[in-house]
Amino acid sequence: MLISNAFAQAAPAAQDPMSTLTGLLPMILMFVVLWFLMIRPQMKRQKEHKALLEGLQKNDEVATSSGILGKVVQVGDNFVHVEIAPDTVIVVQKPAIGTVLQKGTLKSL
């Protein structure tokens, strides 16, 4: 005979609810660790950067994310005019401002 007989299998036993929870526990723990080590600090940095950009004023000395240092001449909704040398003004997007420097930093360079 080339084909063997097929016999019915017994139904699988019902799973214990605790074993399901135990299986999910490592994934939940990994998410909690990921939250506290990566996501939460990144959200904090974004909030600080947003506050920095909202507090930007004329005559603030700034450093852009590309490393250009200058003094803010004009602040718009989306763009900032930065004077990088006498009579040389560039326009940069607000998110490109990396840090606000202390007053007098540009003169000390």
Tell me the domain boundaries of the chain. Answer: 16-54, 57-109
How many CB atoms are closer than 10 A to CB 92? 19
**Rounded CA separation 32/48 (Å):** 23
Please report the pLDDT score of residue 73 as a whole number: 96
**Rounded CA separation 13/70 (Å):** 72
Residue 107 makes CB contacts below 8 A (sequence gap 6+) with: none
Give the confidence band of 18 by pLDDT, cuts at 50, 70, 90.
Answer: confident
Average pLDDT over residues 95-102: 95
- Check pLDDT > 70 for residue 43: yes
Residue pair 64/96 in contact (Cβ under 8 Å)? The answer is yes
- Check pLDDT > 90 for residue 42: yes
Cα dist from 87 to 61, 83, 84, 105, whole Å: 16, 7, 8, 19
First to last CA, the chain: 94
Q: What's the topology of domain 57-109? A: SH3 type barrels. (2.30.30)
Q: Tell me the per-residue pLDDT of 47-85, one tens digit each, with 9 for 90 and over.
A: 999 999 999 999 999 999 999 999 999 999 999 999 999
- Check pLDDT > 70 for residue 13: no
